[in-house]
Amino acid sequence: MKLMEASPPDQGSMCLRFECPTCSHVMAMQTNPQETQMLASLGVEFQPAHGAPAAADAGSAPEYGAEGAPRWTDAAKKRLQRVPFFVRPMAKSGIERFAREHGHREIDEKVMDEAKGHFGM
């Protein structure tokens, strides 16, 4: 697993997103304040993989093309920001996967509604 995103500590908690370079499976992990403090005291530093979004960009939806991922409209990006930070990476990758599987080249609010219904939310 490769670390793709590491959010800065928010009220002591930190969100990490990992991705398998072979199968692209994504897993997220959230630390509680004590775990974050313990890791910091051990000198552990989390650096996202080369080319991965920086912590400040952790919730943004980049505009792809070359990798085949759909582009996000501004309205969809704004709506994605309303998703809680600790599940945002999983929601984003799930919506992108849904869009690719259903032939959408762009993610707008309509596609987000379709994905939401597909996932039963």
Among 82, 83, 61, 80, CA closest to 72:
61
Model confidence band, residue 105 (pLDDT cutoffs 50, 70, 90): very high
User: What span, in angstroms and rounded, lies between the C-alpha atoms of 108 and 6?
Assistant: 26
CATH number of the domain residue 78 falls in: 1.10.8.550
Q: How confident is the model at residue 64 (pLDDT cuts 50, 70, 90)?
A: very low
Q: Is there a contact between 108 and 71 (Cβ–Cβ < 8 Å)?
A: no
One-letter identity of residue 47:
Q
Q: Which residues contact 45 (CB under 8 A, 6 or more apart)?
A: none
Same domain, 45 and 82: no
82 inside domain: yes
| Domain-located, residue 76 | yes
Total-model pTM? 0.48
Q: Give the count of domains, the chain.
A: 2
**53 and 64 Cβ atoms separated by less than 8 Å:** no
Range of the domain at 44: 1-49
Residue bearing the bigger pLDDT, 78 or 66: 78
